[in-house]
Structure 1
Amino acid sequence: MQSAWPNQSIFSWLQQVLAERFGHTFSISSTESDTLWLSYQESPVQILLSIDPISFNKANSDLPFTTWDATGDGWASLLDRPLPAPGASTLSSPLIEPIQNGYRINYDILGLTYWMLSRLEETNRTNLDTHQRFAATSSHAFKHGYLERPVVDEWLGILGQVIQKAWPNLQLKQQQSGMKVSHDVDMPSQYGFRSPVGIARGMVADALKRRNFKGVFLAPWIRFNSQTSLHPADPANTFNWIMDVSERYGLVSAFYFICGRTDRAKDADYEPEHPAIRALMHDIHRRGHEIGLHPSYNSFQNPQQIQAEAQRLRRTCEEENIRQTVWGGRMHYLRWEHPTTMRAWDAAGLTYDSTLGYADYVGFRCGTCHEYPAYDLVEGKQLNLRIRPLIAMESTVTAPHYMGLGVGEAALKKFQDLKETCLAVGGCFTLLWHNSQFDSEAERELYKAVVSYKQTPLPCQSNS
């Protein structure tokens, strides 16, 4: 690993992160082994920040931990609670103190930002789940109870207050909070693309497992009548309903399509070139929604495969006269090897990735609900790719093998709490809800309640 906290390439990247957050370019430099200097243009005023090069260079989850009562020290906590302080076992008091020509912050806010956003914690880890994913339960945030706290956003909120004290005439950027909804298209049709054996199995499952006898009779009919478009009676064909809901609340839905098959059991049974899928993509684009990529199951360690699938999606869209300025998406099963997968997205020329959330628990895997530029901590350079953190996936909350909250009030409260947290820090509540996860009226009502809770602001702004 070439990069280590701190160094100049990280400073350049963090300057970009701060510029996007505050709307101004600050210089970051280090002239002492234990201190960073934050300065603005020619002003003699500076903010000094302590450096913790030991904790924030760890590619593991063994950092010390404490909390800080911002209110007790005369500062405002964005969430009105003590702030989690990874990397520290104790903190000095006062944590922030005036000095000649500026302020000193006795906690490594920028080191924390680097450690969380770069995902150094999960680099080269071997304690992975059955899908070779770094699980939430392995993370420092889960172990210390702050996974549902956007810890980077909270500490940058503190830094913003110090900046305002240091340069009172500086107008900081007001972040536009909001919501983004996306839908991984694992199964666009429950029956339309199945083989005869698959149809038979589906019919048996409908009868014996789901007690859906209507589905038993519909399956062959839907399969036969899905040659040019998805059948309106297909249970997985919820696309128009999803777009109707999004349009009702001023949202743009992003639909991510699988364009490869590296595991026949786990990948999709459709091809993006199929006339019915082409018609679906055309309809999504016509209505002003977004099309994106959902790379196949075993592509997460294979940059060439991701590039080939991205090219296939673009080629299919171009043949349908579908043109977009932004191309993003999410990995299938949220499989991610850091930084291999991220590099592959960047090499494929994709605009953003929205994989980085956990499958087993909701929350802030990257410590933020703000989109940010990707940083390759092995090569020590900023990438063109944007990271759009995933805050919640529907099955993470509802499924018995994950959090198991079902589709009632407990699930709604969890989604609402996360959404309120994102709004409180001026961030974006990024929600994944599969098009095939609307089997019941309760699921539909839960989804509508989540996206309509209180007054949903405009979709989050992007710095892409």
Structure 2
Amino acid sequence: MLLIYSHQITNRLAYVTKQIFGGILGVDTAMTTKIEDFIKHSGPKITYTKQPLQNEFFIRSNDLLFEQGINDLDILVSDWEGVPCFFATDEKSAIPYDIFSASFFLLSRYEEYLPHVKDSVGRYPAKESLAFRSNFLELPVVDLWAHKLFSLLKDRFPQIQSKRKKYTFTSIVNVTASHCYAHRGLMRTLGGYLLDFSKLRFRRMAKRTAVLFRLSKDPYDNFQRLVEIHKKYKVKSMFFFQFAEYSAHDKNISPNNNRFKYLIKSIADYSIVSLSTSFLSSTDKMVLKEEKRGLGNLIHRPIKYARLRYNRVNVPVTYRTLIESEFTNDFSMGYTHQIGFRAGTCTPFHFYDISLESKQPLRVHPFAIHDYALLNYKNSNEVFDKTDTLFRSLKKVNGEFVVIFSNELLGGKHKMPWISLYENLIKRYHV
């Protein structure tokens, strides 16, 4: 067991050390504020405070983990043997940066509490983040720091034990529009024809007609193919269905449509099915609970996982809403149009509410790739050049590689063959 001494054990410190040593490294730890207990301990131990006690493994602490609330921090990002890092220490410290404070800053999404301008749908913009501005968004730096720390501890304490997690791959299919033309009702279908006609989209009108008369398959209806791909490679998959009424931002099939219900139930026979929240329900707890209840009643299983519309995480309010609605896991922590790690990690972690200064029961699963972030690439070779680099970083730290694709994009017309790219991506990284 690793013993950590500090002059004060705060919720922040307990939270981040538990995540680094327990969640990422699989190392058993205990904490103490008693110097005599620390000195008597014969196993691996760390001092985390302002000054070392003796000649122990010492990490000089920043003030961040001993504060409360939010302060405007002056952060300088430097290099730690090829890995970006911040909150520099001094020459007495066994490592040159306070990675506990740096990890807390990223995991808690500290910067998202600070004043910022949201994008058109109310999201925290990637370009506002420290990771984007300092060019480490595509690195799971928290995991890299943890592994570097463990290597140094192993040199100092050869007896230290680690039960490290294994690399995993999870494919998520986000279904906010299960069909492009089918099952949309008379008024929405007529409206679609009128809109296409007004914009002279005659090919789209012909395609709509062919689908409605069952002469052609709906382009978004690729669910059977997706299930076959997942079964072929034995990959962990999850389908998140929107189960909401029509609105300006939510245009899926009506949750009262029997064919839509049958589709969801049939997918639930092969894969985990859970809720993709509507734009309205991400801010309205009563609507969210109704969507959750409706989907749960349909598949006769508890709905514990959530994905927020547009990845619209507004900390801490959005996560409080999920917790109050009895969700246990969220899969929205990432950027829709940027590859990388919004919270600096590829390991699931519990949400820490800075306003309440406490760890919350909601488990956050960060994703690395959203399919819309791949739209700017010219071909699949460019895509895999980028994703191979990401994969190597994830494998190095035995991370969780979560990718999100929508049936809508997979079934649409684009410059790349998306279904083939999706299958090749799974084949490449699911091992």
Q: Please report the TM-score for the alignment, with normalisation by the length of structure 1.
A: 0.79
Residue 84 of structure 1 aligns to a residue whose secondary structure is: strand
Check if 1:310 corresponds to 2:292.
Answer: yes
Check if 1:111 corresponds to 2:101.
Answer: yes
2:60 equivalent among 46, 50, 56: 50
Output one character per residue of 1:167-186: Cα deviation in whole Å (capped at 9) or x when no partner.
Answer: 31232122211211111111
Output one character per residue of 1:44-95: Cα deviation in whole Å (capped at 9) or x when no partner.
Answer: 743432222259979588642233343xxxxxxxxxxx1111334xx656x8
Checking the alignment, whether the CA contact within 8 Å between 2:255 and 2:261 is kept in structure 1 is: yes
**What is the CA–CA distance in structure 1 between the aligned matches of 2:264 and 2:38, rounded to whole Å?**
47
**What is the CA–CA distance in structure 2 between the aligned matches of 1:211 and 1:424, rounded to whole Å?**
48
Match in the other structure for 1:215: 207
Structure 2 gap segments, 5+ residues each: 1-7, 47-56
Distance 1:39 1:372, change over 3 A: farther
Match in the other structure for 2:86: 86
| Offset, 1:368 | 0.4
Checking the alignment, whether the CA contact within 8 Å between 2:196 and 2:205 is kept in structure 1 is: no
Check if 1:395 corresponds to 2:395.
Answer: no
Please, what is the CA RMSD of the aligned residues? 3.1
Q: What is the identity, as a one-letter code, of the residue corresponding to 2:284?
A: N
Match in the other structure for 1:257: 241
Checking the alignment, whether the CA contact within 8 Å between 1:258 and 1:295 is kept in structure 2 is: yes
Check if 1:284 corresponds to 2:267.
Answer: yes
Residue 437 of structure 1 aligns to a residue whose secondary structure is: helix
Check if 1:24 corresponds to 2:23.
Answer: no
List aligned pairs for 1:16-415, cutoff 5 A: 16-17=18-19, 18-28=21-31, 43=43, 45-46=45-46, 47-53=57-63, 63-70=74-81, 82-88=82-88, 92=90, 104-203=94-193, 205=196, 208-209=200-201, 211-212=203-204, 215-222=207-214, 233-261=217-245, 264-287=247-270, 289-318=271-300, 323=301, 327-398=304-375, 404-415=376-387
**What is the CA–CA distance in structure 1 between the aligned matches of 2:22 and 2:202, rounded to whole Å?**
52
Distance 1:159 1:258, change over 3 A: same
**What is the CA–CA distance in structure 2 between the aligned matches of 1:265 and 1:45, rounded to whole Å?**
56
Checking the alignment, whether the CA contact within 8 Å between 1:27 and 1:39 is kept in structure 2 is: no
Residue 181 of structure 1 aligns to a residue whose secondary structure is: strand
Checking the alignment, whether the CA contact within 8 Å between 2:181 and 2:218 is kept in structure 1 is: yes
Match in the other structure for 1:79: none
Deviates more, 1:188-197 or 1:137-146: 188-197
| Offset, 1:162 | 2.6
Checking the alignment, whether the CA contact within 8 Å between 1:416 and 1:450 is kept in structure 2 is: no
| Offset, 1:195 | 3.6
Q: What is the identity, as a one-letter code, of the residue corresponding to 1:456?
A: H
Residue 146 of structure 1 aligns to a residue whose secondary structure is: coil
**What is the CA–CA distance in structure 2 between the aligned matches of 1:210 and 1:444, rounded to whole Å?**
26
Check if 1:443 corresponds to 2:415.
Answer: no
Structure 1 gap segments, 5+ residues each: 1-5, 71-81, 97-103, 223-230, 399-403, 458-464
Q: What is the identity, as a one-letter code, of the residue corresponding to 2:355?
A: V
Distance 1:10 1:61, change over 3 A: closer
**What is the CA–CA distance in structure 2 between the aligned matches of 1:13 and 1:38, rounded to whole Å?**
20
Distance 1:278 1:68, change over 3 A: same
Percent identity over the alignment? 21
**What is the CA–CA distance in structure 1 between the aligned matches of 2:218 and 2:326, rounded to whole Å?**
35
Checking the alignment, whether the CA contact within 8 Å between 1:327 and 1:352 is kept in structure 2 is: yes
How many residue pairs get aligned? The number is 407
Checking the alignment, whether the CA contact within 8 Å between 2:220 and 2:408 is kept in structure 1 is: yes
**What is the CA–CA distance in structure 2 between the aligned matches of 1:274 and 1:337, rounded to whole Å?**
31
Output one character per residue of 1:349-399: Cα deviation in whole Å (capped at 9) or x when no partner.
Answer: 22210111012311110000111122212112222211000211101221x
Distance 1:52 1:210, change over 3 A: farther
Residue 409 of structure 2 aligns to a residue whose secondary structure is: coil
Match in the other structure for 1:225: none
| Offset, 1:417 | 2.4
Checking the alignment, whether the CA contact within 8 Å between 1:246 and 1:253 is kept in structure 2 is: yes
**What is the CA–CA distance in structure 2 between the aligned matches of 1:237 and 1:369, rounded to whole Å?**
31
Residue 436 of structure 1 aligns to a residue whose secondary structure is: helix
Distance 1:55 1:12, change over 3 A: closer
Match in the other structure for 1:227: none
Q: What is the identity, as a one-letter code, of the residue corresponding to 2:380?
A: G
**What is the CA–CA distance in structure 2 between the aligned matches of 1:56 and 1:336, rounded to whole Å?**
26
Check if 1:424 corresponds to 2:400.
Answer: no
**What is the CA–CA distance in structure 1 between the aligned matches of 2:42 and 2:29, rounded to whole Å?**
11
**What is the CA–CA distance in structure 1 between the aligned matches of 2:183 and 2:144, rounded to whole Å?**
47
Residue 417 of structure 2 aligns to a residue whose secondary structure is: helix
| Offset, 1:255 | 1.1
Distance 1:274 1:213, change over 3 A: closer
| Offset, 1:38 | 9.3
Checking the alignment, whether the CA contact within 8 Å between 2:346 and 2:400 is kept in structure 1 is: yes
Output one character per residue of 1:142-174: Cα deviation in whole Å (capped at 9) or x when no partner.
Answer: 111111111111111112113323431232122
**What is the CA–CA distance in structure 1 between the aligned matches of 2:191 and 2:156, rounded to whole Å?**
67
**What is the CA–CA distance in structure 2 between the aligned matches of 1:358 and 1:258, rounded to whole Å?**
19
Q: What is the identity, as a one-letter code, of the residue corresponding to 1:295?
A: T
Distance 1:20 1:424, change over 3 A: same
| Offset, 1:276 | 1.6
Checking the alignment, whether the CA contact within 8 Å between 1:371 and 1:387 is kept in structure 2 is: yes
Q: What is the identity, as a one-letter code, of the residue corresponding to 1:217?
A: T
| Offset, 1:280 | 1.5
